[in-house]
Structure 1
C-alpha cells in the first residue's frame, strides 16, 4: 500500500502493474475500499499500471468530514498529478468518475461507469440509519446521500461536455439503481446491461471483464 497527499488530504492506494504501461484507476463504491476490486485489479495489471485508492472517508484514506462529490473528484485528479488514465468507477466511484471527467477532461482517457446513480432527483429512498459498521465515515454517507438525492440541476447538461469515450454498464432489473439514463446524457456513450444486480463486477465478474476488455480493446 502507498499513500499520497492529493487535494490537501491523505489518499491511501494500492498500486499494481508496470509503470511503463498505460494508467488505469479503479474507484470503489460507497462504504467499500480498494479491496472491493480484488481480482479485478490483477486482471488489469497484466496490461495497465493500476491505481486503486480508498476514496476520502473510506478505508485508510483521510476522513476529513467534508464530502462534496466535486472534492472527491479533485482528490483523484490530485492523485493522477497530470497523468491521463482509463478511469473505472463503481456506484459512488462511478459518480466520482463522471465528475472527474467533467472537471478534469484532460486526465480521462476512457471512462467506464459501473451502475452509478445518474444525476436525476430521486424519491422514495429510506433515510440512512447508522449502525456499528466501520471502515468509513458516517458523515460521508449522509453528505453524499443528499447530493445523490438532489443533484445539481445543471449537471445533466454539463455531462454533455464529456469528451472521453464512455461505457455505462447497468446492473439491469436486478439492481436497485437505474443507471441507463446516464448513457443518454454523455455523447456517444455505449450502454451494456448485465442483469446481475448492483455489484456487477462481483456477481458476474467474467462477463463484466469481457465487456470492459472489449471496450478498452484489450
Structure 2
C-alpha cells in the first residue's frame, strides 16, 4: 500500500540529499534549525512527517515496515545521507539494513534502536493520556516539565512547536499526531533491531548524557561490528538533542558529513 507523506524541504534541489526522520510525537519541522543553520548550504534536506504525525496520513498500519515503505515512497529511492532521532533513528537503521545501497552515511541522534520493554511500556501507557492545553504557552511550559529540558532555549522550542501544536475546535491546543500511532511505535522500538554487522556504513552516533533512552547496553556490540566506521559523540543533553544541544549536535553532524 503506497502512502505519500508530507515532506519539509530545504536547500538546492540539485544538491546531495540528506533525509531527517523525527521521533514519535514530533514532525519533520523539528529539523528546521539543523537544516537552515547548518546543512542546507550543502545538502537538499528532506524531512517527512512520519505516518500518524503532522500532515501525513494517520491510518494504520504503523509498523516499522510500513514507516520505511512510506518514507521511501515519499522521498524517493536515491542514495542519501540519513539522519534519525529516537524512533527515527530506529527507522533509519532499519532502512540501512533493508536497502544498503540507499544509505551513504548514517547519523543516529540518541536512537531508540532497542528500547527496554519496561521503558516502552511506561511510555506507551503515558501516550494513552490526551495532551490538551488551555493555551499554546501552557503546551510549551508542559513540554519543558515533561521532557526535563534544562538547557533548551525557550524561543527554539516555541518556534518548533508553533507549527506542531494547534488549536482545536473546542478551543484547546493539541499536538498534531495520532495517539494510537505513537503507542504502536513504542511497541516497535521494544523489538529486536537488525544486527549491527548488517549495517556496515559510516555511522555517527550522538548520545545525550542525560537521556532516558540508554545506549550503554548496545555500544560495545556496535563498536565491535563497525570498528573505524563508527564515530561516537557525547553531548550535554537530554533526549531531544536538537533542543538541548543544537549547536553541539549540529557541529558533530556537519563535521561527520563533511568527511569524504
Task: Show structure 2 runs of 5+ residues with no match.
Answer: 133-173
Alignment of 1:77-96 (within 5 A): 77-96=72-91
Task: Show structure 1 runs of 5+ residues with no match.
Answer: 1-6
1:11 aligns with 2:5: yes
Q: Within 2, Cα distance between the matches of 1:60 and 1:156?
A: 29
- Identify which range, 56-65 or 111-120, moves more after superposition: 111-120
Whose RCO is larger (CA < 8 A, sep 6+)?
Answer: 2
Displacement of 1:15: 1.6
Displacement of 1:179: 2.7
Which of the pair has more CA radius of gyration? Answer: 2
2:215: which partner in 1? 179
- Identify which range, 186-195 or 26-35, moves more after superposition: 186-195
Alignment check: 8 A CA contact 1:28 1:92 kept: yes
Q: Secondary structure at the match of 2:176?
A: coil
- What does the per-residue CA deviation read over 1:128-152, in whole Å, with 9 as the maximum and x for residues that have no partner? 3321343111111121112223x13
Q: Secondary structure at the match of 1:146?
A: helix
Alignment of 1:1-218 (within 5 A): 8-42=2-36, 43-119=38-114, 121-124=116-119, 125-126=121-122, 127-128=125-126, 129-131=128-130, 132=132, 133-149=174-190, 151-152=191-192, 155-157=193-195, 159-172=196-209, 174-183=210-219, 184-185=221-222, 187=226, 188-217=229-258
The count of residues paired between Structure 1 and Structure 2 equals: 207
TM-score normalised to structure 1 length: 0.87
CA 1:80–1:105: 2 relative to 1, 3 Å: farther
Alignment check: 8 A CA contact 1:171 1:200 kept: yes
TM-score normalised to structure 2 length: 0.74
- What does the per-residue CA deviation read over 1:88-146, in whole Å, with 9 as the maximum and x for residues that have no partner? 11111111111111111111111000001132543254223321343111111121112
Q: Within 2, Cα distance between the matches of 1:50 and 1:38?
A: 9
Q: Within 2, Cα distance between the matches of 1:181 and 1:106?
A: 28
More helix by share: 2
- What does the per-residue CA deviation read over 1:170-200, in whole Å, with 9 as the maximum and x for residues that have no partner? 111x111113444433523221111211111
2:135: which partner in 1? none
Q: RMSD over aligned Cα, in angstroms?
A: 1.8
Displacement of 1:163: 2.3
- Identify which range, 33-42 or 49-58, moves more after superposition: 33-42
Alignment check: 8 A CA contact 1:83 1:107 kept: yes
- Identify which range, 120-129 or 193-202, moves more after superposition: 120-129
Alignment check: 8 A CA contact 2:87 2:113 kept: no
